[in-house]
Amino acid sequence: MKPYDLPDARGHFGQYGGTFVAETLIEALDQLKAQYAKYQFDPEFRREFESELKHFVGRPSPIYHAKRWSDMLGGAQIYFKREDLNHTGAHKINNCIGQALLAKRLGKPRVIAETGAGQHGVATATIAARYGLECVVYMGSEDVKRQAQNVYRMKLLGATVVPVESGSKTLKDALNEALRDWVTNVDNTFYIIGTVAGPHPYPMMVRDFQAIIGQECIAQMPEMAGRQPDAVIACVGGGSNAMGIFYPYIEHEKTRLIGVEAAGEGLDTGKHSASLTKGVPGVLHGNRTYLLQDENGQIIETHSVSAGLDYPGVGPEHAYLKDIGRAEYVGITDDEALKTFHECCRIEGIIPALESAHAISYATKLAPTMSKDKVLLVNLSGRGDKDMHTVSMKSGLSFFCHPECETGRNVAAAARGETVSPISIVRK
Amino acid sequence: MNRINTTFSALKSSRKTALIPFITAGDPTLDSTLPTMHALAKAGADVIELGVPFSDPMADGPVIQRSSERALMKGMSLRKVLAIVAEFRKDNATTPVVLMGYANPIEAMGREVFVAAAASAGVDGVLVVDYPPEEADDFSAVLIARDLAPIFLLAPTSSAERVQAVGRLARGYVYYVSLRGVTGAGNLDVADVASKVAAIKAIVSVPVGVGFGIRDAATARAVGAVADAVVIGSALVQTMFDAPESEIAQTGGAWLAKVREALDQ
């Protein structure tokens, strides 16, 4: 294929991307574009970025051969890119460092972020603490309830978490509210968007900061597997971990790129987050891309067991890669992802994030259809510690952060004259 | 000739400032919108901006956000908004109607289909909040071909080059956002608005309206002294929401009549 050089100067990936925002945001975006262009290849900026990735994040993250599981499946060899081993437990921190370094150079003392599951919020709060920046994180009030532990982590790191009560009270509404904050406080505030969506230059800039994932793989795979992979597999919500690992492989035409969306309760149930598989192109959050919407163009509520994939849009570059056929997009259901989550714990001794479990799950489906000399590389984008509550509930286990949390139930049990178990994990 | 141009020509010769109320279609109730439009016209509205509700109104403050949510809950849609305008036109052939909303409902209907339907319903102008000029070339051309006015926002942060670019594409009027923030915010600086509006008027040939943050007769009057038009939305939407259900249109009309009076003093 011809050299890949998207987006164009106006942020378009084919018909996708662009700058679909109110006039009130244009100046801030123009300023950001100019600053990013200035520092993108600046040796001093690159040096600081790379030094932070090495000493604060712990990069490069290793590649690991899931040999036992590959042997059990009897087909292609599965390798994991271990983004779960990064500081803060996921790939999100790579991008946060890049954008926070820009914020410092722009002299903005305040950063804001949107978050769904809380991973991007935690990463932003982390780097804001490290650089002494004020940090405000917008989070849908439904997500605040579902992700109490990450809310607490952000607060420990000194961030202010603002619950968003508008719309569906989830990630998309948090993004709307962060944009409103930015419009109002553009003079002193830098908006750290967490995924490869939003108005230009965000999809390009976030991809560039996350591309370190794929760049490392290109260097590591020959040593680990003797060659580049036959397929690279990553989960796609907004799509930042997938773009990060796909981007350096786009020109490696022999490597298939496979994005795995959340099929939720099933692609035909209406309860999923599979924007690329089931959506149609439209405009949301500053860019044109595939969206889950009704026939009147209203954005609809999405579902996934994994909060990080629960988003009705997707990065515009994925929309483009789908249309030109360079990447394929498939779905994995909640049940499939949960099954894989448990298998990964038991077979490989790795607790993956539920998001990443979607990608691994597809790899375990694909591997047996391929010969043993084939190679699959899965982006293990985050660790699963944050998902303990969700998984324990779905698995019929009660999990208490604190034994006292169970008190109410114990009192009720005692009143019925039952013996009360003192342990904090009980099987229902 | 487009009704917006006719209206502004007449206002210019009588040296009056245009009053442009904004209401969200379908809020507070589905049936209140049509009688409210008539009441607003009667109370002295020169142009009516009809908000097309969207699930993700990122440029709007809490009042318009909530009004959009209520309207969507009741089943309002772009097609129904157009039906309301067609109904309004049966009894009012002169008051211009501008639709204000977001791109996605229009794209879901299809841009050409929408523009044709809007023209035949009797719409006069369209303001798509998330179509800045760099993304609006084609759409503006389609609108202009049907004698509909593409209305654009200008912000305190818009550079002179951008004001020029908007000036080239804009028809009807331009809408100057009087503060850094979302609709309904409350930190309006009239002196600052006056100097910005003067700078814009030196560049663009269409009238300049001012909105976002005008909440009562007094601010309307102060801004009206420097602008060609005053747009007033959140305060009216809130007033109508607070009214008893049987008096929504009447309350909206009475509230606007006071603003009209202050503006004409």
Beta carbons within 10 angstroms of residue B147's beta carbon: 13
pLDDT in tens, A160-202: 999 999 988 989 999 999 999 998 998 899 999 999 999 999 9
Cα torsion A323, A334, A91, A202: sign: positive
Q: Take residue B60 and report the two structure tokens written for it.
A: 């709007």
Token digits of residue B136: 């609006």
**pLDDT band, very low/low/confident/very high, at B184 (cuts 50, 70, 90):** confident
What's the pLDDT tens digit per position in A25-54? 999 999 999 999 999 999 999 999 999 999
- Give the C-alpha separation, A328 to B94, whole Å: 54
Q: Is the dihedral of CA B89, B94, B100, B105 positive or negative?
A: positive
Nearest to B178 by CA among B152, B213, B143: B213
Cα separation of A139 and A117, whole Å? 9
pLDDT of residue B228: 97
pLDDT 10s digits, B101-110: 999 999 999 9
Q: How confident is the model at residue A147 (pLDDT cuts 50, 70, 90)?
A: confident
Please give, rounded to a whole number of angstroms, the shortest distance from the CA of A177 to a CA of chain B: 7
Helix residue spans in chain B (DSSP H) = 3-13, 33-42, 62-73, 78-91, 103-109, 111-121, 133-145, 160-169, 190-201, 217-224, 234-242, 248-264
Task: Tell me if A77 sits within 8 A of A231, measured CB to CB.
Answer: no
pTM strictly above 0.90: yes
Residue A400 confidence (pLDDT) above 70? no
The DSSP element (H or E) to which B232 belongs, if any, is strand B229-232
- Looking at beta carbons, which residues of chain B come within 8 Å of A281? 107
Q: 3-class SS at A301?
A: coil
Q: Rounded distance, CA B181 to CA B232, Å?
A: 15
CA-based nearest residue to A62, from A379, A384, A386: A379
Q: Where are the domains of chain B?
A: 17-264
Note the pLDDT of residue A420: 42
> Which residue matches tokens 């390798």?
A79
Give the up-direction half-sphere exposure of residue A226: CA atoms within 13 A in the CB hemisphere. Answer: 4
How far, in Å, CA of A209 to CA of A51, rounded?
Answer: 14
The more confident residue out of A401 and B217 is B217
Q: Note the pLDDT of residue A2.
A: 72
pLDDT at A427: 41
In the residue annotation, A381 being an active-site residue is answered as yes
Question: How would you classify the pairing of strands A77-82 and A63-65?
Answer: antiparallel
Mean pLDDT, all residues of chain B: 95
B40-52: average pLDDT: 98
Give, as one character, the DSSP assignment of residue B189. Answer: -
Tell me which chain B residue has its CA closest to the CA of residue A299: B55
Contact B158 A297 (CB under 8 A): no
- Print burial letters for A109-125: b (CB count within 10 Å at least 16), e (below 16): ebbbbbbbbbbbbbbbb
Distance CA A123, CA A109 (A): 17
Total residue length of chain B: 265
Residue ranges with strand state E in A170-244: 189-191, 231-235
Q: Name A12's bridge partners.
A: A17
pLDDT at A416: 55
| A198/B contact by beta carbon, under 8 A | no
3-state secondary structure of A368: helix
The answer, yes or no, to whether residue B140 has pLDDT greater than 70, is yes
The answer to whether A140 and A173 have CB atoms below 8 angstroms apart is yes
**Cβ-contact A109, A405 below 8 angstroms:** no
What ipTM does the predicted assembly reach? 0.96
Burial tier of A143 (Cβ tally within 10 Å: 0-12, 13-18, 19+): buried
Rounded Cα gap, residues A253 and A329, in angstroms = 17
CB B164 within 8 A of CB B199: no
Which among A24, A27, A285 is the top mutation candidate for probing chain B, defined by the most B β-carbons within 10 Å of its own β-carbon?
A: A24
Q: Given this model, what pLDDT does residue A263 score?
A: 98
Per-residue pLDDT tens over the stretch A344-371: 999 999 999 999 999 999 999 999 999 9
| pLDDT at residue B33 is higher than 90 | yes
Q: What strands lie across the sheet with A327-333, from one edge to the other?
A: A63-65, A77-82, A375-380, A231-235, A256-264, A327-333
The answer to whether the CB of A176 falls within 8 A of the CB of B130 is no
A283 touches chain B (CB under 8 A): yes
Dihedral pair phi/psi, residue B46, rounded to 5°: -90, -35
What does the pLDDT read at residue A424? Answer: 40
A308: nearest Cα among A364, A412, A383, A377: A383
Q: Does domain B17-264 have CATH number 3.20.20.70?
A: yes
Tens of pLDDT, residues A1-20: 678 999 999 999 999 999 99
For chain B, the residues whose C-beta falls within 8 A of a C-beta of chain A are 54-59, 61-62, 65-66, 69, 72, 77-79, 102-109, 129-132, 134-135, 152-155, 157-159, 162, 166, 177, 180-182, 185
Cα A356 off chain centre by: 9
Cα–Cα distance, B56 to B66 (Å, whole number):
11
Contact A296 B103 (CB under 8 A): no
Q: What is the pLDDT of residues A74-89, one digit of tens each?
A: 999 999 999 999 999 9
To the nearest 10 degrees (0 to 180), the angle between helices B190-201 and B160-169 is 60
Which pLDDT value is given to residue A426? 40
Rounded distance between C-alpha atoms, residue A162 and residue A158, angstroms:
13
Residue with tokens 């961030």: A159
Torsions phi, psi for A397 (to 5 deg): -110, 145
Name which residue leads in pLDDT, A376 or B213: A376
Q: What is the DSSP string of A102-171?
A: HHHHTT--EEEEEESSSHHHHHHHHHHHHHT-EEEEEEEHHHHHHTHHHHHHHHHTTPEEEEE-STTSSH
**Is pLDDT at B46 greater than 50 in this prediction?**
yes
Is there a contact between A180 and B162 if contact means CB atoms under 8 Å apart? no
A278 belongs to the catalytic site: no
Encode pLDDT of A249-306 as tens digits. Answer: 999 999 999 999 999 999 999 999 999 999 999 999 999 999 999 999 999 999 999 9
Provide the angle, in degrees to the nearest 10, between the axes of the packed helices A43-52 and A92-105.
140
Q: Are B81 and A296 in contact (CB under 8 A)?
A: no
C-alpha Rg value of chain B to the nearest Å = 17
Q: Which residues pair with A232 in a beta bridge?
A: A257, A377
Does residue A204 contact residue A280 with C-beta atoms inside 8 Å?
A: no
